[in-house]
Amino acid sequence: MLRQVTATLGSVSQISRPVKAKQSTGHGDARRERWRGHRQARRAEFVEAAVRAIGSCGAEVGMDDIAAEAGVSKPVLYRHFSDKSDLYLAVGEWGTNLLMERISPTLRQEGSARERIRRIIGTYLGVIEEYPELYRFVVRRNFADRPVQTDPVTTEKTVIANSLSRLLGEYMRSLELDSGGVEAWSHGLVGMVQASGDWWLDRHSMSRDDLTEYLTKIIWFAIDGVLRAGGIVIDPDEPLEIVPHLRVVEDDVD
Amino acid sequence: MLRQVTATLGSVSQISRPVKAKQSTGHGDARRERWRGHRQARRAEFVEAAVRAIGSCGAEVGMDDIAAEAGVSKPVLYRHFSDKSDLYLAVGEWGTNLLMERISPTLRQEGSARERIRRIIGTYLGVIEEYPELYRFVVRRNFADRPVQTDPVTTEKTVIANSLSRLLGEYMRSLELDSGGVEAWSHGLVGMVQASGDWWLDRHSMSRDDLTEYLTKIIWFAIDGVLRAGGIVIDPDEPLEIVPHLRVVEDDVD
DNA sequence: AATTGCGTGTTACGGCAAGTAACAGCTACC
DNA sequence: GGTAGCTGTTACTTGCCGTAACACGCAATT
């Protein structure tokens, strides 16, 4: 199960730090080429180890812990990750990937607008409930030393919010509505779900289904309001004719 | 200006770490009592120094920087703050306090529901725009070493969300609606505004007024939807008859 | 077959920032 | 005067990220 997800991680990693196409750099050497796949596999393996270490040690793992979990010593880790942030970022990608792998199929299923929202939120809450320590690790970021732009969570949240932006933007434009607020709304909605999940994870004062229902309700109202303001009324329980397709990271490559 | 805000900080600090009422503990000594006010003043002074240091050094200030800014050496700092988190928490409180000091008066003004929402959001965005480094410092938390419950931002966000909960809860109950989702919604809305602000601060891809307008719009739609679902319709531009009063931290003391 | 490139791995160290002795002086209560 | 509680210092320890230096293995080149 984990393996399947990780299998796709290599390509994702390429996105953040694209592999230099080093074929024919003077002394064209087949050796570097030969190892490339292996290096990716190794990286993924270490990311998995990190995920396991986070699960056992909690969100405050050190590099030594992760190295130990992977069964190697620290310098080995640093051959594959430039620094802690790099690894953390990879872990974040792993999490995003897992989340997307679970959300995508629900989007391909039939369902009304509200039902789709419900499934996305339910899936999200399910994931953070399943990996609470990983979630904390990713979300409670500790990168005071790094520039803001490279911050893992910001990056991951941005990825998700951007997907949502594209989705909403398409809808809005296809309905010929002003899409000026779409980006802000996307980031806002993502933040809303994240914050609620954060709070819920700490307190657990209601069931997951209840929270899912409450969030679905308010988000639907928000979207419905925007549509109504544009003169469009959609029945929340009618199947959607426009089927959305999430494009997560692939579009960002080229 | 800053001084005014800080003047109230002493009492806020008491909330998080209540001063042991040590009068008449065997050897009732007037000396401790005499210094108490002084210690609070000192703490506040250091918090201000920290805020200044954050402004100049950026969010990744060290304790040495702060000590230098305050014109003392590090151990002095540690006489007033048990550790870094303690100081950070105090800085967070300072920020929350500033925010609340600015929001409160706008709530006492007349205005429709939508206008009130707009003012709160606009004020919030104004504050984080005015203190971007401070904001990053507080929000991009780095406390992997501390238990989750004592996390500064969580604490501060919870404070705000709780105020909102009380506010919304009162409304809902006075309108005889189900208030079960109020807490989740509050945390969600706070997170939504925070996330949007975060994104906006990084990108600055639209004016503050535009973002305020977009957020106001979607939040109003959300609230309006909840009310309509309960059979209540409120004109967003009519003055509110039920005037809210924010009670921020005072209620948490006893 | 020998060399060379790129991977594997180790132990031990450097460096930076948080936090802590240990020490010394000042003021006001008792 | 003695002492409690503050003022302040320099110099240290600790912990963790990250690195230097060194050794081995395998396959491609020569």
Interface predicted TM-score (ipTM) = 0.81
A77 CA: nearest nucleotide by C1': D18
- The stretch A169-198 carries a mean pLDDT of 92
- Give the least confident one: A74-78, A226-230, A236-240, B49-53: A236-240
A76 C-beta less than 7 Å away from strand C = yes
Nucleotide nearest to B76 (CA to C1'): D8
Q: Is the CB of B75 under 7 A from strand D?
A: yes
Q: Which residue has the higher pLDDT, B244 or A157?
A: A157
Q: Give the pLDDT of residue A16.
A: 32
Spacing of B5 CA from D12 C1' in Å: 39
Instruction: Please write the tens of the pLDDT for every residue from A11-55.
Output: 333 323 333 333 333 344 555 566 666 788 889 999 999 999 999
Whether the CB of B142 is less than 7 Å away from nucleic strand D comes out as no
A11 Cβ within 7 A of any nucleic strand C atom: no
> Averaged over B114-127, what is the pLDDT?
95
pLDDT at A105 > cutoff 80: yes
Q: Which of B144, B226, B229 sits opposite A59 (nearest CB)?
A: B144
How high is the pLDDT of residue B29?
58
Residue B159 confidence (pLDDT): 86
Give the pLDDT confidence score for residue B124 in this predicted structure: 96
Average pLDDT of the segment spanning B70-90: 91
Given an 8 Å threshold on Cβ–Cβ distance, is B224 in contact with A221? Answer: yes
**What does the mean pLDDT of chain A come to?**
79
Choose the closest CB to B140 out of A144, A210, A222.
A144
Burial A108-138 (b: 16+ CB within 10 A, else e): eeebbbbbbbbbbbbbbbebbeebbbbbbbb
Nearest CA in chain B to A199: B187
What Å distances lie between residue B207 and A181, A182, B69, B126, B190, CA to CA? 12, 15, 33, 11, 20
> Which fold would CATH assign to domain A2-15+31-253?
Tetracycline Repressor; domain 2 (1.10.357)
Task: Give the mutation candidate from B91, B140, B155, B209 for the A interface (greatest A CB count, under 10 A).
Answer: B140
What pLDDT does B212 receive? 98
pLDDT of residue B244: 56
Average pLDDT of span B144-169:
74
Interchain proximity B144–A143, CB inside 8 Å: no
**Residue B79: pLDDT band by 50, 70, 90 thresholds?**
very high
CA distance A92 to B46: 36
Nearest neighbour of B145 by CB, restricted to A60, A136, A196: A60
Quick one: tokens of B154? Answer: 């969580």
The mean pLDDT of A63-89, rounded to a whole number, is: 90
C-alpha–C-alpha distance, residues A74 and A63, integer Å: 7
User: Comparing A147 with A122, which gets the higher pLDDT?
Assistant: A122
Average pLDDT over residues A163-168: 90
| Chain B residues in contact with A229 (beta carbon < 8 A) | 217, 221
Q: What is the pLDDT of residue A139?
A: 78
Task: State the pLDDT at residue B158.
Answer: 86
Query: How distant is C1' of C10 from CA of A60, in Å?
Result: 26
- Quote the minimal CA–CA distance from A60 to chain B in Å: 5
Q: Is the pLDDT of residue B111 over 60?
A: yes
Show residues of chain A in contact with B194, CB under 8 Å.
191, 195
In chain B, domain spans: 2-16+31-253
Place of tokens 């709530």: B107
**Length A63 CA → D15 C1' (Å):** 12
Question: Given its phi and psi angles, is residue B6 left (phi above 0), alpha (psi -120 to 50 degrees) or beta?
Answer: alpha
Average pLDDT score over residue span A152-171: 83
Lowest-confidence pick of A218-227, B19-28, B162-171: B19-28
Beta-carbon separation of B188 and A184 below 8 A? no
Structure confidence at residue A153 as a pLDDT band (50, 70, 90):
low
pLDDT of A252 over the 60 cut: no
Give the closest residue to A68 by CA, choosing from A92, A42, A49, A45: A49
CA nearest to A144, candidates A218, A81, A84: A84
Q: A74 beta carbon < 7 A from strand D?
A: yes
CATH number for the segment(s) B2-16+31-253:
1.10.357.10
Mean pLDDT for B74-88 is 91
Q: How confident is the model at residue A217 (pLDDT cuts 50, 70, 90)?
A: very high
CB of residue A202 closer than 7 A to nucleic acid strand D? no
Average pLDDT (B126-135) is 93
